Amino acid sequence: MKRNKTSIAVTWLTGLALVLSLCAGIIQDDRAKAGSQQQGQSQSAKGRKDRVASDLRDEMRKNAGRDDVKVIVQLNGAISRPLKELLKGNGVKVKRSFTSLNTLAVELPASVVDSLASFPEVEFASVDSEVRSFGGHVSRTTGADNVRSMGPGGSTLSGAGIAIAILDSGVFVNHDSLDKTQTGSRVIVSQDFTGEGRTDDPFGHGTHVAGAALGNGRIANGKYMGIAPDANLINLRVLNSQGTGNVSSVMAALEWVLTNRSIYNIRVVNMSLGMPAVNSYQTDPLCMAARRLVDAGIVVVAAAGNNGKNTLGNKIYGHIHSPGNEPSVITVGAVDTKGSDNRSDDSIATYSSRGPTRSFWTDLNGVKHYDNVIKPEISAPGNKIVFAQSPTNLLVTQNPALDANVSLNPEREEMILSGTSMATPMVAGAAALLFQANPKLTPNMVKMALMYSAQQLPGFNMLEQGAGELNIDGAVRLAKLVRTDHNPLTLLGVSLLTAAPPTPQSTITNYTFPWSQGIIVGRTHARGISLITQYQRVYGLGVLLSDGVLLSNGVLLSDGVLLSDGVLLSDSIPISNGTTMYGGGLFLATGVLLSDGVLLSDGVLLSDGVLLSDGVLLSDGVLLSDAVLQAFTALNGGDPSAAMLIDPDTGIDCLVY
């Protein structure tokens, strides 16, 4: 039903008054502010993007533009002679050139930025921001153990032959959990992009993440086995000894993956890291680079972030980090398993960042246009998880309680961490299993299978859990049935499966639950058995799952070219009752999600995406907190539940899955 202007104004003022009664401080409506400042300005600027990022403009204003700034420059074509001349002089230093990504990392005086952005071949300029890490028997509780015997030709489904690139703080390659089943290491490549000239893990985050994705279970009789225990590891070190890096280092690693993917069969990239998502995914350089990898057939998995609550412990929304705000990426939230294998009491960890994405682009009149994409897509165990520890690492040195004390042998020691960083490699490992089960899957098919088979957790909405908790049992059973002869010419609506669809339920550790039977598509979600019985053009390469969804005057439509009949689009975001994606009560209608930052539902306030849980408002794109979870105090900073039960190591290798 259409609302008149008066009712819209009343609704807006009511929501704003409610927000102000709940939150200290003043929230200013960007559109109203922009409108008052734009009187007399040309309307030709309205809707045209400013090619200089808002955080970069903040940097340019500091010290009247006298300081140098580090900038990522995205190009849309060849560099012209005039631009080459500018880059050779004017105090400009070209630090890195990413040929495959058509991007430069430069350092230049702030006063030169506008001149740089004025060239037509410059698509967007943004800050080379700082990037940081985020910080049960998971192979059993995720359903990975259920599918071990479902490999090709009856072989073991363990990720064999698939390489996972882990972009993190490095890896302690001598850890026994990273060995092959028989002899040798599965770390087949190690590269440093930090400039420190080392590929080990003095920080401690990357080794733990690697163990979660592909730890082999040799230690403590298989207690700490990762999801894909035979997958190969590409160790790309982008975070330094303090656990920080920058955008240009991550982009260099992503370009390396793009160039070398075929040599090592890299099918999955794990990024348990990020930065505040200020810039829209349409311009954010990390998002753009990640999209290039997905279009090349690589699944990119990213952490949602650890900003799901404020200092008072209240839920907050709109704090998904970059590159997790990119629609083509699988963004992962954290589940609290209560330290048990049984999934019946699982819940979303309180710190897990909630959607929607609040990254934005700014037009030439200064008006912000928010992305508002539903994230995360899926959630996985991430609270108080025990996996591989690198020797004398900074995290354990600063907080000895993180040491799990599993073994006196440094090559077999384990540590405890919490955060979406720990949940992300669970999904990366699951993607490797799906590719081993069916190498012809596209990244969007992997994403579909993971979401369609997920377990919806009761009492949580889609902005908290995505499609639900990771269910590898269901995802593999579905993936194995997907036809292997699809190609860019495959027609919309033809049969997707080689047999009848599987029963949409799974039983894991004696607990039976239904699948979500739906997928997230941009700003809404889709359901219907046609999603798994008919080929959808949005499953192809170079397409976003949300591309087939059109919004017309608040009405959700399908364009009939990318989504077939039988796919139903929702006009709301539900709270799950634990049955299906479309079951349960209503959280909010999509038409109520306003672009000015006010969410008129349950008194929830959406910020602009850069207000962190410690109350620090960021304007320069630097992440000041939550590196692994509340300043590395993961044991005390996580949800108030038990850690995985600690089993001491006997020193004898377990070689049986």
User: pLDDT for 454-500, tens place per residue?
Assistant: 999 999 999 999 999 999 999 999 999 999 999 989 999 999 999 99
CATH code 3.20.20.70 for 132-139+151-470+594-637: no
Whether 568 has a pLDDT exceeding 50, the answer reads yes
Only one residue has tokens 């705000």, namely 325
- Cα 542 from chain centroid? 19
Token pair, residue 490, equals: 């495959």
Start-end of CATH 3.40.50.200 domains in the chain = 132-139+151-470+594-637
Residue 238 has pLDDT above 50, yes or no: yes
The predicted pLDDT at position 607 comes to: 44
Write down the residue that tokens 């960021």 correspond to.
618
Per residue in 519-530, pLDDT (tens digit) is: 999 989 999 999
The number of residues in the chain equals: 657
Q: Locate tokens 């690492």: which residue?
A: 393
How far is the C-alpha of 485 from the C-alpha of 495, rounded, in Å?
11
Neighbours of 486 (CB within 10 A): 18
Query: Is the pLDDT reported for residue 555 higher than 90?
Result: no
Joined tokens for residue 160: 């064999």
State the average pLDDT for the chain.
83
Coil, strand or helix at 77: coil
Structure tokens at 616: 């620090």
**Alpha-carbon torsion (268, 271, 272, 276), positive or negative:** negative
pLDDT in tens, 64-108: 777 899 999 999 999 999 999 999 998 999 999 999 999 999 999
First to last CA, the chain: 57
**pLDDT tens readout for residues 25-45:** 222 233 333 333 444 444 455
- What is the fold, at CATH topology level, of the domain defined by 50-128? Alpha-Beta Plaits (3.30.70)
pLDDT at 370 over 80: yes
**195 Cβ contact partners less than 8 Å away, ≥ 6 residues apart:** 240, 249
The predicted structure's pLDDT at residue 650: 56
Contact 632, 135 (CB under 8 A): yes
Q: How many CB atoms lie within 10 A of CB 529?
A: 13
Give residue 133's pLDDT: 61
* Whole-number Å distance between alpha carbons of 460 and 651: 42
Q: Are 496 and 479 in contact (CB under 8 A)?
A: no
The strand pairing partners of 266, in sequence order, are: 163
Calculate helix-pair angle for 420-437, 205-214, nearest 10 degrees: 40
Contacts of 254 (CB under 8 A, 6+ apart): 101, 167, 269, 286, 289, 290, 292, 293
Count the alpha carbons within 13 Å of 82 in the hemisphere toward its beta carbon: 8
Q: Are strands 568-569 and 524-527 parallel, antiparallel or unpaired?
A: antiparallel
**This prediction's pTM:** 0.85
3-class secondary structure, 53: coil
Question: Where are the domain boundaries for CATH 3.30.70.80 in the chain?
Answer: 50-128
